[in-house]
């Protein structure tokens, strides 16, 4: 959430940033924010003055009673009663203005970093890096959903029977390969200095709001209505919220965390070959990395996260590329996002497998996550997160790019985790 003072002091910068995102009616909502803020501050001053006057009269009343000036004391007592009524009305107005302001701020996305280009959709994203060799599999190469059926390692029909579309069942070597990837990703993250956490898979409304899922993605999350809990769309939500409300010391930076969770998302996209199989699911596994950083270090930390993900993909020997997202494709809460895509040779298309983002103070403002700076003043921290990695499309890339006439080879780095070198 943007800070009101930042909007007040940098109105033009905010409008230019929202224009990069193609945010509709930016001027209208910013003016509404400034008006609501002005009303809130004006009402706060009026309330403070009334309360101060009421306190002053209360002291005078006590003195008058002591000195025997009962009539004067009663007159002032009547006035304080009127002031109490006024203060109550002002307090109610103040709460209304504050709520209006908060609701307006919830609707405004983060301001993109200066390096983010103008663009309307994923078609306008910039390819900034690519690496790896795309294998030549020949004309008989199969997409992963056909490989899964051929080798009986993932059963989409059984998942549909048990739950519905978008909930696959992993079987035999497929399940072991899935578990191997999770353990490998976690080990790589821990080796890189990230502290491992096992976190809840459901969160409360406060947590979903603090990291920006609500109200922006309301309706896209599974909601357990009786308990008012939400199934997490990513481990970013519970991990980041572990630090909600904290006041840190500068010496505590950086805070680094990693964790594996299943992820649940109601909206699974349109129908067609581009969302078949593992390409888009309602439930999938993901290993996440989260960082809480000093504002001066957050962009160097983001670059470090990108290098870390690159190292994992190099070890898996998968062809990949990195995109810097344009304004129109950057997520609601992010200031800058790098997407990683792996090439699916059998599908002849790129599949997104990771995003690494810097949210700057946007999440921290909702989280009330602050630190004491060198001057002893309270300041908002920066939060970052990245997938390292989302499993479905990584698994799809491995199945398709490592297929041979004699089975599917297992990437060398994963063999110690799987206990086998080929799926046949």
Binding residues for ATP: 265-267, 352-355
Structure token digits, residue 297? 């270090």
CA distance 325 to 357: 10
Evaluate whether 83 touches 54 at the Cβ level (below 8 Å): yes
Structure token digits, residue 271? 């129908």
Structure token digits, residue 49? 């003055």
Q: Would you list which residues are annotated within the binding site?
A: 234, 265-267, 288, 352-355, 385
127: CB partners within 8 A, 6+ apart: 321, 322, 323
CA distance 177 to 183: 10
Phi-psi region of 323 (alpha: psi -120 to 50; beta: other; left: phi over 0): beta
Q: Positive or negative, the Cα torsion across 381, 259, 338, 205?
A: negative
* First-last CA distance in the chain: 51
Count of Cβ atoms closer than 10 Å to residue 52 Cβ: 10
Q: Would you list which residues are annotated within the binding site for L-serine?
A: 234, 265, 288, 385
CA distance 239 to 387: 13
- Residue 39 backbone phi and psi in degrees, to 5: -65, -40
Evaluate whether 142 touches 346 at the Cβ level (below 8 Å): yes
**DSSP structural state of residue 282:** S
Q: Which residues of 260-287 are buried (b: 16+ CB within 10 A; e: fewer)?
A: bbebbbeeeeeeeeeebbbbbbbbbbbb
Could you write out the DSSP letters of every residue in 14-54? HHHHHHHTT-TTHHHHHHHHHHHHHHHHHHHHHHHHHHHHH
Give bridge partners of residue 262 from the DSSP assignment: 285
Structure token digits, residue 181? 């990837």
CA distance 199 to 180: 20
């Amino acid at each position: 959430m943007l800070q009101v003072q930042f909007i007040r002091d940098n109105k033009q910068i905010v409008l230019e940033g929202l224009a990069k995102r193609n945010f509709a009616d930016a001027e209208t909502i910013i003016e509404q924010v400034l008006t609501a803020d002005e009303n809130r501050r004006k009402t706060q001053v009026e309330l403070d003055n009334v309360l101060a006057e009421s306190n002053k009269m209360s002291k005078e009343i006590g003195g008058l009673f002591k000195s025997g000036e009962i009539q004067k004391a009663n007159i002032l007592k009547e006035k304080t009663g009127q002031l109490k009524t006024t203060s109550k009305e002002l307090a109610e107005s103040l709460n209304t203005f504050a709520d209006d302001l908060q609701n307006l701020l919830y609707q405004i996305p983060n301001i993109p970093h200066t390096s983010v280009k103008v663009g309307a959709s994923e078609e306008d994203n910039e390819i900034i890096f690519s690496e790896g060799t795309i294998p030549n599999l020949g004309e008989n190469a199969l997409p992963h959903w056909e490989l899964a059926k051929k080798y009986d390692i993932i059963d989409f029909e059984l998942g549909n029977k048990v739950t519905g579309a978008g909930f696959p069942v992993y079987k035999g070597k497929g399940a072991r390969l899935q578990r191997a990837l999770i353990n490998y990703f976690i080990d790589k993250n821990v080796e890189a200095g990230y502290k491992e956490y096992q976190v809840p898979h459901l969160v409360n409304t406060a947590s979903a709001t603090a990291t920006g899922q609500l109200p922006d993605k309301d309706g896209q999350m599974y909601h357990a209505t009786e308990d008012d809990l939400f199934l997490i769309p990513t481990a970013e939500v519970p991990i980041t919220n572990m630090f909600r409300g904290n006041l840190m010391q500068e010496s505590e930076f950086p805070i680094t965390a990693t964790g594996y969770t299943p992820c649940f998302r109601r909206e699974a996209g349109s129908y067609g070959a581009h969302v078949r199989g593992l390409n888009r699911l309602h439930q999938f596994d993901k290993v996440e990395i989260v960082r809480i950083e000093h504002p001066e270090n957050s962009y160097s930390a983001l670059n470090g996260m990108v290098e870390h993900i690159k190292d994992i993909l190099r070890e898996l020997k998968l062809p990949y590329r990195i995109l810097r997202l344009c304004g129109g494709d950057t997520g609601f809460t992010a200031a800058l996002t790098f997407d990683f895509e792996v090439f699916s040779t059998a599908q002849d298309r790129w599949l997104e497998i990771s995003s690494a983002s810097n949210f700057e103070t946007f999440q921290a403002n909702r989280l009330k996550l602050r630190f004491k700076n060198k001057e002893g003043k309270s300041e908002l921290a920066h939060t970052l997160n990245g997938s390292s990695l989302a499993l479905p499309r990584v698994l799809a890339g491995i199945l398709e790019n490592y297929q041979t006439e004699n089975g599917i080879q297992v990437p060398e780095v994963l063999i110690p985790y799987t206990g086998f070198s080929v799926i046949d």
